[in-house]
Chain A
Amino acid sequence: MEADQIKKLYQAMAENGFSTLELELAEKNRVRLVLDAVHEEFPGDNVAAQLAALDETESPANTQVEIRSDKVGTFAFADRQLKKGDRIKKGEILGLVKGISFQDRIKCSLDGIIRRVEVENGSVVDYGRLLFLVDID
């Protein structure tokens, strides 16, 4: 799909007040366009930037997993403060989410390498918050 076509779709979405548009094209080629519904005007020049951002997040490598919190509380690293490039083992406790009446252990079910750390010691994490991005071996 050409950038020009996508631009036109965005324009049509903005005009009709759609916030999300999902298209299934040939050869399992899926495009998902998201437009903030409160935008009054067509974002215009930002399209290129938005597309670049989509490239980053919407086409993850098959071997990448997101580790999210399904509890709400204060985060703390477990045995070590993880950073990008750290190798983690299957079943290793990456961190803890401490709520008022519980402590949830954050684990990874496979071996891999930390690609991104989205959380700090002591930060408040809520339901569905992305904690780590892991490249699975």
Chain B
Amino acid sequence: MFSKILIANRGEIAVRIIRTCKRMGIATVAVYSEADQNSLHVKMADEAYCIGPARPDLSYLNIPNILSVAHATNCEAIHPGYGFLSENPSFAEIVEKCGFIFIGPDYRAIERMGQKSVARDLMIRSGVPVMPGSQGSVETVEEALEIARGIGFPVLVKATSGGGGKGMRLVEKEEDFAGLFKMAQGEAEASFGDKRVYVEKYMRNPRHVEVQIIADRQGKVVALGERECSIQRRHQKLIEESPSPAVTPDLRRKMAETAVKAAKAIGYHNAGTIEFLLDSNGNFFFMEMNTRLQVEHPVTEMVCNFDLVELQLRVASGEALPIEGELVEPHGWAIECRVNAEDPAMSFIPCPGRIEKYLVPGGPWVRVDSAAYQGYLISSNYDSMVAKLIVWGRTREEAMDRMIAALSEFEIKGIETTIPFHTFVLNHHEFRSGNFSTSFVDRNFQTFMKEQQERAEAVIAEKTVVR
């Protein structure tokens, strides 16, 4: 096992990684930008070094400075967390060439999975179901239209190097195809410097279900169940749970087998997630693979009883996975709410600012992963996540009730947060029934707004009566 590692990240995930390292007796080196000198990860690590100004490209993406710290402090390995450099194949490659171990997969796997159409072709060849669509990227409108006609509208035009919904266009009708195809190409070029796009069948109201895998360097791959991530807004997940209410034990086995087969086909090691679209008939299709630890990994930890960061460290250092079989069945139910500094009543606009009061919920089976504290400044330089609130219950019902109680206990003042929206979702009959899809947030947002307004009016009315 490593004796000292560098964590090339900030915020809650850096704190999360430091916690496991502390337990395992691994010394930690934190890096930080000038905006983060009072951050929790800086305080908690054994050593911390400033690597540049607030702007991410000058600090958290500054490869020479990060590697220089690792070198000067004699680190053996680098954990990239999620975001920033975690899915940058050149970074992973340079890390290894400089003699450190990258706590993640081989850079070639990152590279191939990062190219959407390459990943798609690899999956087809490995026997993983994908949505019908083009073979690789398409160059011309004529060629693309031909394919679209073949698979039938609606179709999606997606950027080969894309992500987060950028360079992606939904085409409902044939007559709109040429225009939207060119828009997607233009956006792909502007956002990723790569105008290549591909065409894929569009599924209405799918569920987003992903399988967590972990693989060692000896070739063993294990699936740690699935996560349901359908509660999302513009491809940003808001609530995740494990297991998925839509996945039966039989379907779980099938999805896990498929995910393990896919990981083996590309010689994958370390933690990864294979995202699938699931239709209402239990058919699932490969969407993409994330070659890193995910934000929502705690729900998997809660139902599988494995510390994913520990497993990452173990397999990166060459140890074999200490798990029997190829699938870990979930025990109980876990739900995570991403509490962001965003105002849900203002279409989730980010609300950076200073946290004036911060009281976290507690009690049995309640976990808060966060780097925030009273007086902490949520900077506009980085993402707006304040905390991840995770609960466990023996049943989904129990987990939902525990989450509602925990949300009501969570007190954050000074900034607006997504807590009211989470409470709304957790109480919603559709969410509670377990029968929902990725269209949930869009379809129910107006109801939420109306309820918020009524509540505000009721408060005003009450005050008026008192006077």
Q: Do A and B come from one complex?
A: yes
Residues of A within 8 A of B (CB): 17, 19, 37-38, 71-74, 99-102, 124, 126-129
What CA separation (Å) do A127 and B373 show in the bound complex? 25
- Minimum CB distance partner of A38 in chain B: B375
CB of B64 within 8 A of CB of A124, answer: no
Residues of B within 8 A of A (CB): 34, 38, 49-53, 59, 64-65, 67-73, 98, 354, 356, 373, 375
What CA separation (Å) do A37 and B38 show in the bound complex? 9
10 residue pairs, one from A and one from B, having the closest CB atoms:
A99-B68, A126-B49, A37-B375, A126-B50, A124-B72, A72-B65, A100-B67, A127-B50, A100-B71, A72-B68
Other A-B pairs beyond A71-B65, A124-B69, A129-B50, 10, CB < 8 Å: A17-B375, A73-B71, A99-B67, A99-B71, A100-B64, A100-B67, A100-B70, A101-B67, A127-B52, A128-B50
CB of B51 within 8 A of CB of A72, answer: yes
Which residues of chain B have C-beta atoms less than 8 A from A72's C-beta? 49-51, 65, 68-69, 72
Which residues of chain B have C-beta atoms less than 8 A from A129's C-beta? 50
Main secondary structure of the interface of B (DSSP, over half): mixed
- Minimum CB distance partner of A123 in chain B: B72
Which residues of chain A have C-beta atoms less than 8 A from B70's C-beta? 100
CB of A127 within 8 A of CB of B64, answer: no
Main secondary structure of the interface of A (DSSP, over half): loop
Pairs A–B under 8 Å by Cβ, sample size 24? A17-B354, A19-B375, A37-B38, A38-B373, A38-B375, A71-B68, A72-B49, A72-B50, A72-B68, A72-B69, A74-B72, A99-B71, A100-B64, A100-B68, A100-B70, A100-B98, A101-B67, A101-B68, A124-B49, A124-B69, A127-B34, A127-B53, A127-B59, A127-B65
The distance from the CB of B11 to the nearest CB of chain A, in whole angstroms, is: 18
Best-buried of B38, B53, B72 by chain A (most CB within 10 Å): B72
What CA separation (Å) do A19 and B68 show in the bound complex? 32
The distance from the CB of B132 to the nearest CB of chain A, in whole angstroms, is: 46
- Minimum CB distance partner of B376 in chain A: A37
The distance from the CB of A38 to the nearest CB of chain B, in whole angstroms, is: 6
The distance from the CB of B91 to the nearest CB of chain A, in whole angstroms, is: 13
CB of A17 within 8 A of CB of B52, answer: no
Which residues of chain B have C-beta atoms less than 8 A from A99's C-beta? 64-65, 67-68, 71-72
Which residues of chain B have C-beta atoms less than 8 A from A38's C-beta? 38, 373, 375
What CA separation (Å) do A21 and B125 show in the bound complex? 63
What CA separation (Å) do A82 and B348 show in the bound complex? 55
- Minimum CB distance partner of B73 in chain A: A124
What CA separation (Å) do A65 and B67 show in the bound complex? 30
CB of B49 within 8 A of CB of A17, answer: no
Which residues of chain A have C-beta atoms less than 8 A from B71's C-beta? 73, 99-100
What CA separation (Å) do A37 and B68 show in the bound complex? 31
